[in-house]
Amino acid sequence: MIPGAPQCDPEIWSLGIPVLGVCYGMQVMVQQLGGGVERAERGEYGKASLHINDATDLLTSVDNDTVMWMSHGDSVTYLPEGFELLAHTDNTPQAAIADPTRKLYGVQFHPEVVHSLGGQALIRNFVYQICGCEPTWTTDAFVEEAVREIRARVGDKRVLLALSGGVDSSTLAFLLHRAIGDQLTCMFIDQGFMRKGEPERLVKLFRDQFHIPVEYVMARDRFLAQVVGVTDPEVKRKRIGHEFISVFEEESKRLGPFDYLAQGTLYPDVIESADTNADIKTGERVAVKIKSHHNVGGLPKDLRFKLIEPLRKLFKDEVRNVGRSIGLPDEIVRRQPFPGPGLAIRIIGEITAERLNILRDADLIVRQEINRSGMYHELWQAFAVLLPVRSVGVMGDQRTYAYPIVLRFVTSEDGMTADWARVPYDLLETVANRIVNEVRGVNRVVYDITSKPPGTIEWE
Ligand code: XMP
């Protein structure tokens, strides 16, 4: 192992609690307990077939020769005393090991990634059989406990929530509303970069169907004024972020005062960001930044709310389940991701009111046709992008000189990697025809066939 590689406290191995070391975790375990780890002659990256030596215990119900995902250059050369071999691969003689007496387990592969087909079964064995955990975590139990905790924490104080219409903030709104009723104020800032009809639909849905009042803040002109003449994507994001803060600040003063700011922070945000600090006096988390998807910088000093983040231990799919269980409709729960700056980063270069209208109309056609085709849930995202160039076309007996629209339809597991979607030509044809015929200012439609990497999903 590389000198200076991180180590753990060796006491861990004698605490008498079950441990599963994954990849480097297994190597550290082996090395600290007296086994050997060395740079392998050949590293192993990607899929490997797992040959099982001992199908009991950790590997119960894991199929022999199942695919597991590997990513290592070092390998275990010999096992510490008390350990036995559970499985190997063609390149890795010790791919899964155990000291069942001490309940110490190690796997060289990554059972936690979706491409490891037997991974879930292995993790289940470890958690339920070896650790003896009971599967008592249910969404209903979570909702009950969250409601209780919110009530206890908030008391008779007021809470502000910035609603975006996505699944996180919508789930949070439902949860908070159930817990504290009208002590909750939901604020929706319309920055003018949403899809056609969505702001109206969102407010109506919340008010009329869910009976959760929403303070609608019309700020379209202010946001547009901020991005006029801006072509750099990051400057665009920053300007939008700062304006969001200004509007948020003004409106929270107008509607306030509030003691708490509710945020739809999820577990991955907790791991990845240092966006929040603890208040030195109370130990409570206070907001320094609003959740990164609003792409904003710091909140002003005099606007330091106490934070309330009931979803912070959940992953996205768990939030969806919670949302569903407390009554959010599928329309929100299974919505495709939509970036915080919205259509602003789907108009390449300068944003103008005209370009926004064109993109909004083209985007609506994409949504309608994707819905009609029944493919909405098969695609990670399907949207239109407007390019700030013009090309020549002909319509009727007129020459046209108008914008192209790019269709970006992708499949993905998590947005980190993506592939362009192989949708039927007929669907592409219908979308392209409708856009050119119905959206003035567009005379050409192209389909983006770039995967990520090297392309990104969004164009800016
Ligand atoms: P990229 O374009 O980086 O996108 O492949 C990966 C995922 O992130 C979304 N995305 C954003 N979301 N603010 C957001 O809230 C942004 O500035 C932003 N940029 C990209 C994108 O839609 C995709 O799901």
Catalytic residue list? 23, 110, 112
- What is the model's pLDDT at position 100? 95
| CA 92 – ligand 1 centroid, Å | 37
Give residue 250 CA to ligand 1 midpoint distance, Å: 27
Dihedrals phi, psi of 452, to nearest 5 degrees = -120, 125
Report the distance separating Cα 191 and Cα 162, nearest Å: 13
- Whether the CB of 237 sits within 6 Å of ligand 1: yes
Distance of CA 226 from the midpoint of ligand 1 (Å): 21
For ligand 1, what atom is nearest to the CA of residue 416?
Answer: 6
Q: Which residue's alpha carbon is nearest to atom 14 within ligand 1? A: 339
- In sequence order, the 6+-apart residues with CB closer than 8 A to the CB of 276 are 265, 285, 286, 287, 288, 289, 307
Bridge partners (DSSP) listed for residue 64: none
> Can you read off the two tokens belonging to residue 132?
């003896």
> What is the rounded CA–CA span in Å between residue 421 and residue 289?
35
Give the up-direction half-sphere exposure of residue 311: CA atoms within 13 A in the CB hemisphere. Answer: 27
User: What separation in angstroms does the CA of 85 have from each of 95, 203, 370?
Assistant: 8, 59, 51
Ligand 1 pocket, residue 306 CB under 6 Å: no
CA of 409 to the centre of ligand 1 (A): 14
Backbone angles phi, psi at 190, to 5 degrees: -90, 100
Q: Which phi and psi (to 5°) does residue 155 adopt? A: 60, -125
Choose which residue among 232, 316, 458 to substitute to test ligand 1 binding: the one with the highest number of ligand atoms within 8 A of its C-beta. Answer: 458
Cβ–ligand 1 contact at 419 (below 6 Å): no
Q: Is 340 in the pocket of ligand 1 (CB under 6 A)?
A: yes
Which atom from ligand 1 is nearest to the alpha carbon of 292?
15
452 lines ligand 1 (CB under 6 A): yes
| pLDDT score recorded for residue 95 | 96
User: Would the CB of 158 count as within 6 Å of ligand 1?
Assistant: no
Residues of the chain with pLDDT under 50: 274-276, 279-281, 291-296
The two structure tokens encoding residue 298: 């710091």
Q: How far is CA 361 from CA 166, 356, 377, 435, 436, in A?
A: 21, 9, 22, 8, 11
* CB distance 413 to ligand 1 below 6 Å: no
- Per-residue b/e over 304-337, b at no fewer than 16 CB within 10 Å? ebbbbbbbbebeeebbbbbbbbbebeeebbeeee
Nearest to 189 by CA among 249, 141, 238: 249
C-beta 238 within 6 A of ligand 1 = no
- CA 386 to centroid of ligand 1, rounded, Å: 17
CA of 343 to the centre of ligand 1 (A): 12
- β-strand pairing of 398-411 with 419-420: antiparallel
Q: What is the pLDDT of residue 56?
A: 87
- Going by C-beta distance under 8 Å and a sequence separation of 6 or more, which residues neighbour residue 415? 337, 380, 457
Burial of 132 (0-12, 13-18, 19+ CB in 10 A): exposed
> Among residues of the chain, what percentage have pLDDT more than 90?
78
Terminal alpha carbon distance of the chain? 40
Q: Counting every residue, how long is the chain? A: 460
The predicted pLDDT at position 280 comes to 46
Token pair of 112, please?
Answer: 């936690």
For the CA of 293, the nearest atom of ligand 1: 15
Instruction: Give the rounded distance of the alpha carbon of 255 from its chain centre.
Output: 30
Q: List the one residue out of 16, 15, 30 whose CA is nearest residue 98.
A: 30
Nearest-angstrom CA–CA distance, 354 and 402: 12
